[in-house]
Structure 1
Amino acid sequence: MSSANSEEEYLNPRDLEVRLHYLGKEFQKLWVRLGANKRVSHGRLSDLPDSLITHILSFLPTKDSIKTSLLSKRFRNLWLQVPGLELHSHGLSDSVSIKNFIHRFLEINRDSRLPKFKIKYDVCNNVYLFGISKLIAEVINRGVHQLDVGTPNRPFTKDLMPLDVYKSNTLVSLTLANVGMASPQFDVSLPCLKTMHLEDVMYSHEDPLFIEKLISGCPVLEDLTVCRVFDDNVPVLRVRSQCLKRFCVKFGRDRKIFGKEYAVEIDAPGLKYMNFRDDLSDRVVVKNLSSLVKIDIDTQFGTGTLQMKKAIISDFLTGVSNVRHMIISQPTLEVLYSCMKQGPFPKFRNLTRLEASFCTVLLKKLPHFLEGFPKLKHLTLVLFYLLYLKDLKPENLELTVVPYCLLSNLECVEVKEVTTVEKPGKKRARYPYIKRTKLSKHKKKIWIELVRYILENSLVLKKLVLCFSPVTNSVLEISLALPTFTVRSPGCEIFNHLTSL
């Protein structure tokens, strides 16, 4: 991690888990290299104690650790001592096979804990959660630390997690995907749970307080991810936690139950990072987010009218106004600009780093947008050439207003480009389907005016980075135009190169 990010090392409170994840990847690569030469692998591994070998094997899927039984007699049953189990049902024909395999493994390790249990099952192979739920309950009661259960398909109503999942004294990480959960009739007690990831989970009965009850039983929860599905039976996602540091919510607008209202409420005084991608909730409430350092926003703020969205947006932005680092998407900016016509944009007086995606139509409003960030130091602009064929006539981009941050704080600007073309009433088409000359002229004018505006109005700028799409032919033209611009900040360095975007 670079020193430039030192003040934002909060960005992922799961740094330790992330490092362990990548360490596991390195172990996998090492194992492949050793496996390529059995003589070498056997010679090196023979020098290691069993405890270290089984620890290394715990980073591999169980099917891969089983393969090591072919190395030598010593390794024949060593995989059975691995402190963890990771299964995928595509290797087993049905739930009976999985049950037998898990039962055998637990029997052999009946006197030891099982820190990790991961199972991915596929209903297409006649594997159902209800067939192995008792074994999952046993794993939970054996003191599992990391539990990961999921399927790529939508859950069956009978596919319910055992109620033991709500009362584990050892569970540290819980990941559930496309499974069912029943609302417990007792208080949830997960005293050690720090990370919880719920993806497309179906709750058996409509209970607006389900998530709140679940979180209330997790006194040390730091990292929560909820990927919602339109019929999950939880109309209100209420997140209240004193210890939560990282929260991600995703709720796409692919489908919606007609007449049903969705809402999200967030009250987390210790929250450091939030990723908000909720497009269906028409009521959004955020409270006590004064500790928020980074936010990633990609939402259109519900499905209501513009007047309804205006109130939601105003309250939301005010609630996160203390944030220091913001990432904001193009769809969100489009909604914000529509609302900005009816009132001023909130001030973010602590924000120093901004990453924003602009389409060319909205770029002319960039200066007004930047007026909301008086202490901005680092700006990243992602330009989308979102054009309609009827709008390809080149027009000058006139930027005249100069926000305060350009005159006093802005030190680094990075501009990236992405080319996308829209045809009215049709699916999105790619760049090659329109005349290169028209788009090239349009892009050239936008680039030249934007670069000129930045260089001629930024008084303390230290670095300007221009990242061109590989399909563009504007690199040379911009480079030739640079000497004609007035650079107001002495010593400003300019870099231009191609990007993979």
Structure 2
Amino acid sequence: MDEDGEKHVRAKGSDEVDWISKLPDCLLCEVLLNLPTKDVVKSSVLSTRWRNLWKHVPALDLDNCDFHEFNTFLNFVDSFLDFNSESCLQNFMLKYDCDDDDYEPEISIIGRWINTIVTRNVKHIDVLDDSYGSWEVQLPSSIYTCESLVSLKLCALTLPSPKFVSLPSLKVMALLIAKFADDLALETLITKCPVLESLIVERCFCDEIEVLRVRSQSLLSFTHVADSDEGVVEDLVVEIDAPKLEYLRLSDYRVASFILNKPGKLVEADIDIVFNLSSGNKFNPADLPKRTMIRNFLVGISTVKDMTIASSTLEVIYDFSRCERLPLFRNLSVLCVEFYGYRWEMLPIFLESCPNLKTLVVKSTKYQEKQGDIVFSGPRRLLSSLEYVKIERPLKGEAMEMILVSYLLENSTILKKLTLFLDDSVKKEESVILKELLAIPRLSTPCKVVVL
């Protein structure tokens, strides 16, 4: 031990010293910055030098579940924020559930903490309210004037109406099942963030926003997710005006209209939407406004290079293709399709709109009952660019599955490799299935069929 109680660890047979013990406190705090606060506090038992070091780490990352009592959690947060109150705070991350029978939640306390950390030039805020009374807590307007803030993640909290916004450093914002003081609160907030690059909005019934406009000259990534089990509102609209957008994820069965204004050149997209066309509200070719909206949306995403698309979206596109020609996805190189059931008859129509597609991945998240025989009717265009196909759904050797495999092998001119996975339930019939696969004619004779 040295004078400070530090134990120098020497490698066997060498004079090397544990250099961590030689680091200055400021660098040790940077290391501890990456750990949850409960683990940072545990470091205090290492030596006398480490006893109070955790108090100087410019971050708070806590879950009230780490404490036996909720009041102890509250007191710890208060004490931490009071200590070294003049210093800057990099991270403020809290997850709490105040549904304890012995505690009557003090709604104002979260607002007081937010006001405090704003004065300490916080860079990253991540607060999750997991209480039964979520959305009762409205954050103070000071959250809109934190000029040091780089990332903001809020879950199940209410945001005030932004009368004044000054967030010149905010690049990342995630608002998950949040509530807003009025219909324009979110739209105004997005518009007032001049360097915003990533935006995630996970919506629920409580936001009551009928028209959401996402207008940003700096936005590179946008994710819009909603719970499809909520009540259907037919006139919900999401309008996106982000000319620098590179990544787009949409997963929402409630929104009737997705509008892309000046979409720029998308690089990657993940699309799982139906434009509010469900089993009880089918696509109507006579609905010209809906047709125009779908056409414009497809044109807007047609520059994408890498896309994941759900079979439910393909079904809408398939219905639309019966009355209008699909735009060409000339840049699309990688396509991943997530299927439910065996609705594979929609696939050829879309593939023929992708003249430069090189890789196709077919996934399936669950099995469903047979929905009718697949019929790839009419003459099919050759897939002249497709090189690699992977069907990740475990095959059972059923006729509908073989029809898809046959279509791909018989219509792909330069296909190099087709990878398949067999279901564990058909391992005994593996040789029979393999013979059937080998018997399928291949337009690309060098193509390898790999069965895993």
* TM-score with structure 1 setting the length: 0.78
Assess if the C-alpha contact under 8 Å between 2:307 and 2:335 holds in 1.
yes
Aligned equivalents of 1:492, 1:402: Cα separation in 2: 20
Matched, 1:469 2:431: no
Paired position in structure 2 for 1:89 = 64
SS at match of 2:94: strand
1:319 to 296, 300, 309: 300
Paired position in structure 2 for 1:167 = 145
Paired position in structure 2 for 1:302 = 276
Aligned equivalents of 1:94, 1:159: Cα separation in 2: 21
1:177 to 124, 130, 155: 155
Return the offset for 1:481: 2.8
Assess if the C-alpha contact under 8 Å between 2:162 and 2:188 holds in 1.
no
Assess if the C-alpha contact under 8 Å between 1:381 and 1:416 holds in 2.
yes
SS at match of 1:328: strand
Amino acid at match of 1:193: L
Per-residue deviation, residues 304-339 of structure 1 (Å, max 9, x unmatched): 552355444223212212112211112222333333
Return the offset for 1:416: 1.6
Matches of residues 317-466 of structure 1 in structure 2 within 5 Å? 317-359=298-340, 361-383=342-364, 386-388=367-369, 401-404=379-382, 406=383, 408-417=384-393, 440=396, 443-466=397-420
**Percent identity for Structure 1 against Structure 2:** 35
Which deviates more, 297-306 or 161-170?
A: 297-306
Q: Does the C-alpha gap of structure 1 residues 154 and 172 become closer, same or farther in structure 2, counting only changes over 3 Å?
A: farther
Amino acid at match of 1:470: D
Matches of residues 137-156 of structure 1 in structure 2 within 5 Å? 137-153=115-131, 156=134
Matched, 1:193 2:148: no
Aligned equivalents of 1:389, 1:411: Cα separation in 2: 29
Paired position in structure 2 for 1:288 = 262
SS at match of 1:72: coil
Assess if the C-alpha contact under 8 Å between 1:99 and 1:135 holds in 2.
no
Aligned equivalents of 2:48, 2:419: Cα separation in 1: 59
Aligned equivalents of 1:155, 1:44: Cα separation in 2: 49
SS at match of 2:99: helix
Q: Does the C-alpha gap of structure 1 residues 44 and 448 become closer, same or farther in structure 2, counting only changes over 3 Å?
A: same
Q: Does the C-alpha gap of structure 1 residues 119 and 348 become closer, same or farther in structure 2, counting only changes over 3 Å?
A: same
Assess if the C-alpha contact under 8 Å between 1:444 and 1:477 holds in 2.
no
Per-residue deviation, residues 190-238 of structure 1 (Å, max 9, x unmatched): 000000000011113x32x222210121111000000011121322211
Paired position in structure 2 for 1:74 = 49
Aligned equivalents of 1:106, 1:412: Cα separation in 2: 55
Return the offset for 1:110: 2.2
Paired position in structure 2 for 1:5 = none
Aligned equivalents of 1:40, 1:110: Cα separation in 2: 39
Amino acid at match of 1:180: T
RMSD: 2.9
Paired position in structure 2 for 1:246 = 221
Paired position in structure 1 for 2:197 = 222
Aligned equivalents of 1:456, 1:279: Cα separation in 2: 35
Question: Which segments of 5 or more consecutive residues in structure 1 lack a partner in the other structure?
Answer: 1-37, 420-439
Aligned equivalents of 2:256, 2:371: Cα separation in 1: 34
Matched, 1:115 2:96: no
Return the offset for 1:410: 1.0
Per-residue deviation, residues 35-81 of structure 1 (Å, max 9, x unmatched): xxx98999674344322322221111111111111222222111111
Assess if the C-alpha contact under 8 Å between 2:314 and 2:346 holds in 1.
no
Aligned equivalents of 1:390, 1:410: Cα separation in 2: 28
Question: Which segments of 5 or more consecutive residues in structure 2 lack a partner in the other structure?
Answer: 1-7, 12-16
Which deviates more, 409-418 or 95-104?
A: 95-104
Return the offset for 1:450: 2.7
Aligned equivalents of 1:346, 1:228: Cα separation in 2: 30
Aligned equivalents of 2:79, 2:381: Cα separation in 1: 68
Return the offset for 1:256: 2.6
1:103 to 78, 89, 96: 78
Amino acid at match of 1:179: L
Assess if the C-alpha contact under 8 Å between 2:110 and 2:139 holds in 1.
no
Assess if the C-alpha contact under 8 Å between 1:290 and 1:320 holds in 2.
no
Q: Does the C-alpha gap of structure 1 residues 323 and 106 become closer, same or farther in structure 2, counting only changes over 3 Å?
A: same
Aligned equivalents of 2:10, 2:111: Cα separation in 1: 42
Paired position in structure 2 for 1:28 = none
Aligned length: 430
Amino acid at match of 2:432: E
Assess if the C-alpha contact under 8 Å between 2:343 and 2:371 holds in 1.
no
Return the offset for 1:241: 0.7
Aligned equivalents of 2:386, 2:371: Cα separation in 1: 36
Assess if the C-alpha contact under 8 Å between 1:355 and 1:379 holds in 2.
yes
Amino acid at match of 1:480: K
Which deviates more, 139-148 or 94-103?
A: 94-103
Aligned equivalents of 1:277, 1:135: Cα separation in 2: 34
Amino acid at match of 1:137: N
Assess if the C-alpha contact under 8 Å between 1:418 and 1:469 holds in 2.
yes
Paired position in structure 2 for 1:15 = none
Aligned equivalents of 2:81, 2:342: Cα separation in 1: 61
* TM-score with structure 2 setting the length: 0.86
Paired position in structure 1 for 2:448 = 493
Paired position in structure 2 for 1:422 = none
2:24 to 49, 53, 58: 49
Amino acid at match of 1:241: S
Amino acid at match of 1:379: L
